[in-house]
Chains A and B, each alone.
Chain A
């Protein structure tokens, strides 16, 4: 029985590290290979031992697909390819391919910086891993091998994010990765065509939420930054090197320009240039507005945002600083936070989620006295703000996408069980499809009924046409012919053509039957009586009496013979082809009843 199997190793009823195994018509694909930032040991990576039990990964997996550059979707990739030993192809879009190694490198440095960790991938491993990447363009069908093909669709969310359609024969799976159905400052909305996949695997972060407009959050953000700067305070915005940082930079840059503000904005780590470079390079991936205005002004070339120097943190007066890493767990952002935390005029804005075990998590949960190294206590007097700028589809958006793609089944990942449950019911009610939500390590098996394409010969079609039946795309039609299976192709041809093509001679199969009748007359006379009887009964058929004395009805042949032992009995030999099976049987039963007495 053909089937599609899905096993999440991560993102099954959680928003940790995404890693989903899909088996489709014998092909195995890994969707995303994410890392969990909340762990600092091997648990930060998905537990690949479940798939490596017997044999090597490269033999088991046909390809890996990465949906976008966020670390919870690609962070385990170098570990997977260079330490666990996967040596096959990895597919992602071009912007993801360009930005992914920067974030991996950034995170590697934070991990090593924080812990002096040895068991982490190295720069060389990141590079070697990236060499295995095959970049795909949007809407381009990529042939992974003869049977497996993939195709990317625009997903919004972050630069280069894509949904992927995976197709083997007539079966297909669409994996959304993270996506956003509404355009934002720099990106457009996700879009997919009506591809009617066998299964749609969709994220469900905001499964129960209808999000307020992002404009409100942006206004709120700008207001808070502005107020702080106006009263002479400093604003710290911890970010990861690429992604949300650029969105917020555009926001501030435009605002500063409009309000003619003078307070300096800095961006740490020297990544601005690189970010600009990539956003310029991938301008087709941004939204219409940015693309349109690009000719006059590149939105990513900032006038007000300058590179940060460590000495600036001690300068007096207001300023805004973007610093890495984003959860205040090491390095520059943490150092600046410690300096500024004691002053109530200052403000820290956390634009994203923070895992447990980080200073970011502590201050967001309201802790204001933080224990520091050497038993010191840091009192946090600065304002702490949380503003989620994460760009995921909300409940409405998810339903909209399901409606767009028209899948036969839906499977939810990347969300919380409780919320998924609600969305699952909604999807099942509204679209009348099955909806699944497996936990990590749990396998969902979907039976599929594959349709097998068969080519029909022109000759056969013409013959059908000759019968006056015009082909109609909407009506299934029964066609008789000979099915030829050759070089894994199926073709339906007329039997004559099949014989010709295969160089076979036609053999005829005849059924025979003996009918014993008590009759003392001679054989010729007997045959004559059979002829007249049949002629009178089978008025619609062509009954003939041949010169050799035999009688035919269509293909049925009747001959009379004497019985070798009993001269009072005559034997009628009846034979017919399988095409006349029905008539043959009828005729035999007729003869068995005996011939009418001669009048």
Chain B
């Protein structure tokens, strides 16, 4: 390239990349392409790109989603095609050591292909790739070379490009591409070891999901071969992917399911105490023990088991999961795994002994198994197995060796099983066995609530809250709970040093007292000093706790109590709301203020009826309601919140006032003027608040004044403003350009600064 052209090239690229610049007419662009073609034919396009980084920048520039004109876009893609026609250049683009660049280049190739083969001419595109336009043929050749290559990174790149192509493009040409390349893909399986197994799995799944290609019987054959050629760990994601497909040959599904079940079947076989228990893979049992089903190293074995458990966990709830689903042997296998992990299994086979040594104390497997066990509660199981499930869960909950994360999962799984054993759902006590477990469980919970680990105390409280939410009305549960020290302990945890735990204790106390399960202690030493009611206790948390979580939790409980008509609240809701709003309105945490408005809204709905099209409340009720709202000082809180520096508070308040206005003022009446009450002082206060001054209170407000103010305010406009992000001005493109220009030469030393 001559020096003058080289000097002009960067400016040209800028113009091309700039969407604001008028697009040159097509002949110019065509001539430009001709010129580039001549330049690349005369020399290496790799060198050209190296010497002129502005070209590379231009290429990457168009990969970003933006409003480029289609002419410029196709020009740049064709330009990329010209560069791409040279093998060495491809390496530059695709062989870049950066994952990001390689991936962007892959996307570019796919776009070039799609561009060349789609569009108006698509109907005439042959399925035979050798009839395709030159640039498409070049790409296909390149991909073929890569697939034939001995270098795994090249194979990987080609597989990635194909995965992107079949995942994103749905033109007829994808069929042609697959027909052309699938033999090469299949040939990868003949190599030992199979190169790029992960990328291969991704590709096969992307092809199988494509509606254009999934009818190809060769695909299923390749998939079946891949399943048997890859190691169980590598084949797992493919097997799981196949089982999630809506439509695929039954034989392949059976094979895929077998891959996922194999590790569990091995465990089951190795730990079997007596014959007669149904196996997971009938017929394969003999081979299972004969071959080395499990990898030799401990970490590989753990990895395989964990991924099998995780895949099965994801499959279980899907409608297309394999049927029949081997619920009982799966349960037995998971129980066996958990036993191996906590050392309570005593297998007498040699394989069992090996498993025992490998899995003993392994937290990773425990976590995966407990997750899967929880999901399995959605199905039934023979009573004997369910008994074993509860037994192992209790063992984990009791064991001092269980780590906090394992305990959390054990609590979650226990909850799932307890709730699933309340049959029929929701209206009956727990099954006798579960009832029996409950006693033991509560005694474990009592200990766990005193754990030195906050994580454990918190998980225990979360469990209690959930359990009470679902079972609080059941006699069996109530009896067991009241007989335990758990409610009293929960109450004490309101003083926990850890704020997360205090918040969970607040939720638990709220739930327990909703169901009347927080009886005051009956022992005589407490009789002298009357204990606070739960309401008083939570109010104390709201007004004194130094951290946000517990205060927010209190607000959630209070709102629920108000909505559900909790006895202590229903006695005098007005007094309750007044006290809570007073505390919430002054809170430093804006989320507490938002929840204060939520509670106010619940109160409004109780007085005026729920939000809905029926709108205006009857005049008598309205007058009373407004009086009540004035008494609890709801308006002061709401109006002040309207100008809160934290936008969600303002937004919530705006919603609340709009709701009130719809209830109080008929739409025909909204413009009514005339002899209203004097609202100048209110409006003056509102203006001051809007200007950011905080001080002055509103003082006593009359309902009429409130209505007049509501009428005069443009709440809709305010709502629109508030719907925008508070930094939308700073984030606008104009602001960006100003910033960029202003920054030039100013920041200097600060540019690399950070936190």
Binding site for B on A (CB under 8 A): 7, 15, 26, 40, 47, 50, 53-56, 58-59, 70-72, 87-89, 101, 105, 109, 112-116, 123, 127, 130-132, 145-147, 205-206, 240, 243, 269-270, 273-274, 310-311, 313-314, 329-332, 334-335, 338-339, 352-353, 356-359, 361-362, 364-367, 371-374, 386, 388, 390, 392, 414-416, 419, 438-443
B726 touches A353 (CB 8 A): no
Q: Is B738 an interface residue when CB atoms closer than 8 A count as contact?
A: yes
Q: Flag B178-210 by CB within 8 Å of A: 1 or 0 each.
A: 000000000000000000001101100000000
What B residues does A105 contact at CB under 8 A?
Answer: 548
What A residues does B729 contact at CB under 8 A?
Answer: 371-373
Q: Which of B316-324, B628-636, B690-698 faces chain A?
A: B690-698
CB contact between A357 and one of B201, B589, B735 (< 8 Å): that residue: B735
Chain A residue at smallest Cβ distance from B587: A270
CB contact between B721 and one of A240, A331, A358, A374 (< 8 Å): that residue: A374
A416 touches B751 (CB 8 A): yes
Known A269-B588, A334-B645, A371-B735: A442·B752 in contact at CB below 8 Å = no
Q: Is B349 an interface residue when CB atoms closer than 8 A count as contact?
A: no
CB contact between B98 and one of A310, A374, A440 (< 8 Å): that residue: A440
A54 touches B500 (CB 8 A): no
A274 touches B546 (CB 8 A): yes
Whole-angstrom distance between the alpha carbons of A176 and B693 in the complex? Answer: 47
A55 touches B236 (CB 8 A): yes
A357 touches B727 (CB 8 A): yes
B547 touches A274 (CB 8 A): yes
Chain A residue at smallest Cβ distance from B736: A356
Whole-angstrom distance between the alpha carbons of A178 and B753 in the complex? Answer: 12
CB-defined A-B contacts under 8 Å, sample of 5: A71-B755, A147-B299, A330-B647, A352-B755, A357-B730
What B residues does A352 contact at CB under 8 A?
Answer: 753, 755
Chain B residue at smallest Cβ distance from A127: B500
What A residues does B87 contact at CB under 8 A?
Answer: none
Total interface residues on B, CB under 8 Å, equals 72
Chain A residue at smallest Cβ distance from B740: A356
Whole-angstrom distance between the alpha carbons of A240 and B458 in the complex? Answer: 28
A362 touches B739 (CB 8 A): yes
Q: Is B455 an interface residue when CB atoms closer than 8 A count as contact?
A: yes
**How far in angstroms is the closest Cβ of chain B from A421?**
13
B730 touches A359 (CB 8 A): yes
A131 touches B405 (CB 8 A): yes
A50 touches B746 (CB 8 A): no
What B residues does A390 contact at CB under 8 A?
Answer: 753-755
Chain B residue at smallest Cβ distance from A243: B755
Q: Flag B21-41 by CB within 8 Å of A: 1 or 0 each.
A: 000000000000000000000
Whole-angstrom distance between the alpha carbons of A41 and B144 in the complex? Answer: 38
A54 touches B645 (CB 8 A): no
B647 touches A386 (CB 8 A): no
B736 touches A357 (CB 8 A): yes
Whole-angstrom distance between the alpha carbons of A116 and B723 in the complex? Answer: 8
A311 touches B202 (CB 8 A): no
CB contact between A55 and one of B98, B237, B363 (< 8 Å): that residue: B237
Chain A residue at smallest Cβ distance from B499: A274
Q: Which of B53-61, B303-311, B670-678 faces chain A?
A: B303-311
B727 touches A330 (CB 8 A): yes
Whole-angstrom distance between the alpha carbons of A500 and B755 in the complex? Answer: 64
What B residues does A131 contact at CB under 8 A?
Answer: 404-405, 408, 455, 458-459
CB contact between B645 and one of A88, A115, A332, A361 (< 8 Å): that residue: A332
What A residues does B740 contact at CB under 8 A?
Answer: 356
Q: Is B549 an interface residue when CB atoms closer than 8 A count as contact?
A: yes
A442 touches B236 (CB 8 A): no
B279-329 residues with Cβ-Cβ distance < 8 A to A are 298-299, 302-303, 306-307, 310
A114 touches B647 (CB 8 A): yes
Whole-angstrom distance between the alpha carbons of A362 and B693 in the complex? Answer: 25
A356 touches B739 (CB 8 A): yes
Residue with the highest number of chain B CB atoms closer than 10 Å, among A55, A414, A439 = A55
A331 touches B645 (CB 8 A): yes
Task: Beyond the given A58-B310, A146-B299, please list 15 additional residue pairs across the A-B interface where CB-CB is below 8 A.
Answer: A15-B753, A54-B199, A54-B202, A55-B307, A113-B590, A113-B726, A114-B727, A115-B726, A123-B549, A145-B302, A357-B731, A386-B750, A416-B751, A438-B97, A441-B101
B647 touches A113 (CB 8 A): yes
B99 touches A366 (CB 8 A): no
What A residues does B537 contact at CB under 8 A?
Answer: none
CB contact between B726 and one of A206, A330, A440 (< 8 Å): that residue: A330
A109 touches B591 (CB 8 A): yes
What B residues does A367 contact at CB under 8 A?
Answer: 738-739, 742
Whole-angstrom distance between the alpha carbons of A273 and B199 in the complex? Answer: 52
Chain B residue at smallest Cβ distance from A87: B367
Whole-angstrom distance between the alpha carbons of A136 and B724 in the complex? Answer: 43
Whole-angstrom distance between the alpha carbons of A352 and B751 in the complex? Answer: 11
A54 touches B201 (CB 8 A): yes
Whole-angstrom distance between the alpha carbons of A366 and B100 in the complex? Answer: 35
A88 touches B364 (CB 8 A): yes
Q: Is B725 an interface residue when CB atoms closer than 8 A count as contact?
A: yes
- The 3 A-B residue pairs with the shortest CB-CB distance, nearest first, are A441-B100, A54-B198, A335-B645
Chain A residue at smallest Cβ distance from B692: A339
**How far in angstroms is the closest Cβ of chain A from B744?**
9
Residue with the highest number of chain B CB atoms closer than 10 Å, among A70, A89, A116 = A116
B415-463 residues with Cβ-Cβ distance < 8 A to A are 455, 458-459
What B residues does A329 contact at CB under 8 A?
Answer: 727, 730
A59 touches B306 (CB 8 A): yes
A113 touches B646 (CB 8 A): yes
Q: Is B149 an interface residue when CB atoms closer than 8 A count as contact?
A: no
Chain A residue at smallest Cβ distance from B364: A88
Q: Is B743 an interface residue when CB atoms closer than 8 A count as contact?
A: yes
What A residues does B648 contact at CB under 8 A?
Answer: 112-113, 116
Known A373-B729, A388-B753: A365·B746 in contact at CB below 8 Å = yes
Known A353-B750, A358-B730, A367-B738: A114·B725 in contact at CB below 8 Å = yes
**How far in angstroms is the closest Cβ of chain B from A332?**
6
Q: Is B471 an interface residue when CB atoms closer than 8 A count as contact?
A: no
